[in-house]
Amino acid sequence: MSPTPWRRRLLATLTVAPLVALAACSGGGGGDGGGAAAGCEPSDGPVELTFTSWVPGVEEAVALWNEQNPNVQVRAESVPAGNAGTYSNLFNALQANTAPDLSQVEYDSLSSFRLQNGLVDIAACAGVTDAQSQFVDWTWSQVQLGDEGVYAVPQDTGPMALFYRKDLFDAAGIPAPTTWEEYYQAAVALKAANPEARITHFPQQDANWFTGLLWQNRAGLFDIEGDTLSVTVDSPQSRQVAEYWQRMIDEQLVATNLQGFSTELYSAWNTGTVATWVSAAWGYSTIRDNAPDTAGQWAVAPMPQWEAGGASAGNWGGSTTAVFSGTEHPYEAAQFALWLNTDPASLEILNAEGGLFPAATAGQDLPALSSGVDFYGGQPIFDVFTEASGQVDTDFTWGPTMTDTYTALSDGFTAALNGQGTLSDALGAAQASSLDALRAQGIQVEG
Amino acid sequence: MATPVVTTSSGPSRTAPAGRRPAARLAGRRAWVVFVVPFAIPFVLFYLAPIGYAIVQSFLRTERSGGIFGQARTVFTGFDQYAAVFADPVFLQGIGRMLLFGVVQVPIMLALALGLALLLDAGVSRFKRFFRIAYFLPYGIPGVIAALMWGFLYSPQLSPIVDLFDAIGPRPDFLGAGTILWSIANIVTWTYTGYNMLIIFAALQAVPPEVSEAAYMDGAGAWRIAWSIKIPLVRPALILTAVFSIIGTLQLFTEPIVLRAISTNVTSGYTPNLLAFTIASGNNYPLAAATSVVLALGTFVLSFGFFRFAQRKGWS
């Protein structure tokens, strides 16, 4: 039985209508360029803002703000960590014009969000540029993204240091290593004392851990000069780091089958088969909460140096509060972001509940950050991190397609950990992949 | 999986037998709309439209003017993205990996499913209902949960199975570069054997008992009856489960992405589906769309190719 014209029309409409609707949606996706806020004026009347974050306890700080600012009510939404899916959701939301007014964004992803027209330049909003002096230097250069704008307000940082099992080091008669060469010697000595023991694990997924190590050696991944972007992932400085860790892998001094933040790693910490972790300030709670059997046995020392007597630290992670381009209230959003990350009461909540190591210099004087920490044998460990924070290179630049750079590094690590390649190969692959990704985004690149 | 599509595609035109009175006939003819629309609207919205959108996207490319963070727009680029897909060694390796996986895992799983279905059908078990549900149960467990659970059983630090092997012989590494694929295959087999068994079992139930009885009277044993009577009669069900399994193999995603958290050997493009996801995460939607379209076409060609092959051989 052949369909009547009426039926055919109905079917055609049913089939085509959604396609047309979708096409109409996608047509508007071009956005308004860089999302630059020419002016930043207060809105009339009461304002409601939405804010996504994965800092535990951030709702409490938001509640305090809401109490103090009845006309600007913020609704906080708790989400998984950025790379655990939230960034993908936010990118999709930006395309669909359903993004929140503000969100937590890590330093390494700011550039990617700016590239997708996701960020508002809040430099014109009252109080923003004046706030620069309240933050650790390198954090402000991170939110400026290489030009005059201000694309987010720094929240916390992850200056790196060395967490190590003091008891195991003492038993083997090894002092805390001050240089990477000494760290290598310590790895050899630990393994000699216990053939099962490894000085640390080399995580395949934590490419941003590795970039923290690169940051320490001033191996910048990208370079922005005006309108020219160059990729410098594969550089003599990054090769030096890669070759060092390749030697550790080749000589089986590091555990190659443990993924970061996995129950397997925590089990190895508890049994003492993994003895150190070069990690960020926020890592203190990761060890404390997941290796309870080792309470009192860990200590923190500055990051090992490439040259004896050096004073350089890397940074791993840390977030900002960014205002998203879809907002109708950039002024209020900027005021909230500033308050959240500079107000003493807010900083105290974020540190107590979320364990944040603040980007605001005032925050580093919090009582909780100057006293001894029980789990670490009463050592005032945050002194080490505060010192490290001042040693982080201010010029380090992230690219706008970090997802691809990280992916290529991680995939290269898999090969290196299996002896099917080297970490230097991984750098080469990440260099090529970054160039491809940037070109796919229509960016002119050199590298 | 694609079950609902398959089961509903044959229905509508048979709903109204020709009535006697013209009015009733007209009403009967209109009635199909009532049946089709509830299916057609979601089918178009959530199935056809996204596919159409993906196809459109796959022919685009991003261009940018006015510096690094300048204005972006999409332009038509023909088959460039498709060329990039086929030039990507990671994609080709992923396809190769899935073919290897399918060639090994699908026959094993279907043999197991067929064996279990025949056992249930033979009625040797007194607890038929219990076993039928027990075998099917893994399919009811969400894929992520199943993968997490197996992850613990594979984990070198936490697994009782690893400890057991360790006690009696060499320590196995379920998460190593050479073994992870088969550890994934094990999870998939565990999950879907019961599902496939149920389809085959249903087909076995439709085999008239007199056929088996006649064979029995002619002196055939249980093995002989299974081999010469039952299996040939459930061939269409076997073909169907094989096609579903081929589709499922090429779309493998959940198990590798979950095991990635504990194994250092699952790369970002380990399976083609994972690769498409990774590319989309990097905001390269056109390339991700092209990858998805190629994957869908590949799946289509393989499953229909198998179907035609089976038909020509007279298997179904």
Residues of A in contact with B177 (CB under 8 A): 414, 418, 420
A399 vs chain B: nearest CA distance in angstroms? 10
B8 vs chain A: nearest CA distance in angstroms? 17
Query: A230, A443, A444, A446: which to substitute to probe chain B, counting the most B Cβ within 10 Å?
Result: A443
C-alpha separations of A101 from A52, A74, A124, A325, B222 in Å: 9, 9, 17, 8, 70
Query: B15, B41, B68: which to substitute to probe chain A, counting the most A Cβ within 10 Å?
Result: B68
Q: What is the pLDDT of residue B67?
A: 83
Q: What is the pLDDT of residue A26?
A: 39
Please tell me the CATH code under which domain B79-312 is placed: 1.10.3720.10
Q: How far apart are CA A188 and CA B154, in angstroms?
A: 29
Residues of B in contact with A225 (CB under 8 A): none
Q: What is the pLDDT of residue B86?
A: 96
Strand partners of residue A255: A201
Q: What is the pLDDT of residue B25?
A: 63
List, for chain A, all residue ranges whose pLDDT scores fall below the cut of 50: 1-37
- Does the beta carbon of B42 lie under 8 angstroms from any beta carbon of chain A? no
Q: Determine whether A202 is exposed, middle or buried from the number of CB atoms within 10 Å of its CB (0-12, 13-18, 19+).
A: buried
B194 vs chain A: nearest CA distance in angstroms? 30
Residues of A in contact with B176 (CB under 8 A): 257
Scanning every residue of chain A, which has its alpha carbon at the shortest distance from the alpha carbon of B38?
A14
SS3 state at B69: coil
- Does the beta carbon of B61 lie under 8 angstroms from any beta carbon of chain A? yes
Q: What is the pLDDT of residue A18?
A: 41
pLDDT tier at B30 (50, 70, 90 boundaries)?
Answer: confident
Residues of A in contact with B155 (CB under 8 A): 263-264
Query: A90, A210, A231, A259: which to substitute to probe chain B, counting the most B Cβ within 10 Å?
Result: A259
Q: What is the pLDDT of residue A20?
A: 40
Mean pLDDT, all residues of chain B: 87
Domains in chain A, ordered, with CATH? 47-157+317-369 (3.40.190.10), 160-314+378-446 (3.40.190.10)
Indicate the residue type of A212: G
Scanning every residue of chain A, which has its alpha carbon at the shortest distance from the alpha carbon of B41?
A14
- Does the beta carbon of B55 lie under 8 angstroms from any beta carbon of chain A? no
CB A427 within 8 A of CB A442: no
Query: ipTM, 2 decimals?
Result: 0.81
Q: B120-179 pLDDT, tens per residue?
A: 888 765 778 888 889 999 999 999 999 999 999 998 878 888 888 888 888 888 998 889
Q: B60-117 pLDDT, tens per residue?
A: 999 998 888 888 889 999 999 999 999 999 999 999 999 999 999 999 999 999 999 9
B247 vs chain A: nearest CA distance in angstroms? 25
The DSSP H or E segment spanning B61 is strand B60-65
C-alpha separations of A55 from A58, A136, A291, A351 in Å: 6, 20, 21, 10
pLDDT of B15 > 80? The answer is no
- % residues pLDDT > 70 (chain B): 90
Query: A86, A112, A115: which to substitute to probe chain B, counting the most B Cβ within 10 Å?
Result: A115
Q: How far apart are CA B123 and CA A229, in angstroms?
A: 72
Which residue among B49, B67, B68 sits closest to A19, beta carbon to beta carbon? Answer: B49
B 191-220 residues with CB < 8 A to A: none
Residues of B in contact with A31 (CB under 8 A): 71-72
Strand partners of residue A278: A162
SS3 state at B174: coil
C-alpha separations of A351 from A78, A105, A357 in Å: 17, 18, 7
**Does the beta-carbon distance from B72 to A31 stay under 8 Å?**
yes
Q: What is the pLDDT of residue A249?
A: 97
Tell me how many helices (H) and strands (E) chain B has. Answer: 16, 2
Where b means 16+ CB within 10 Å and e means fewer, A46-62 reads ebebbbbbbbebbbebb
SS3 state at B60: strand
Residues of A in contact with B69 (CB under 8 A): 34, 114-115, 400
Which residue among A224, A413, A440 sits closest to B287, beta carbon to beta carbon? Answer: A440
Residue spans of the domains in chain B: they are 79-312
Q: Nearest to residue A317, comparing CAs of A389, A366, A372, A234?
A: A389
Q: How far apart are CA B233 and CA A171, in angstroms?
A: 72
Q: B243-268 pLDDT, tens per residue?
A: 999 999 999 999 999 999 889 999 99
Question: Please, which residues have CB within 8 angstroms of residue A297's CB and are 6 or more apart in sequence?
Answer: A165, A166, A167, A168, A377
Q: How far apart are CA B236 and CA B233, in angstroms?
A: 8
Lookup: tokens for A229: 């972007």
**Does the beta-carbon distance from B52 to A413 stay under 8 Å?**
no
Which residue among B63, B68, B157 sits closest to A400, beta carbon to beta carbon? Answer: B68
Taking one residue from A and the other from B, the number of pairs with CB-CB distance under 8 angstroms is: 134
Is the sign of the CA dihedral B65, B70, B76, B77 positive or negative? positive
**Does the beta-carbon distance from B282 to A404 stay under 8 Å?**
yes
Q: Nearest to residue B258, comparing CAs of B162, B151, B186?
A: B151
Q: A296-355 pLDDT, tens per residue?
A: 999 999 999 999 999 999 999 999 999 999 999 999 999 999 999 999 999 999 998 888
Residues of B in contact with A18 (CB under 8 A): 44-45, 48-49
Residues of A in contact with B261 (CB under 8 A): 205, 259, 262
Q: In what order do the strands lie in the sheet with A445-446?
A: A222-225, A228-231, A445-446
Q: How far apart are CA A284 and CA A286, in angstroms?
A: 6
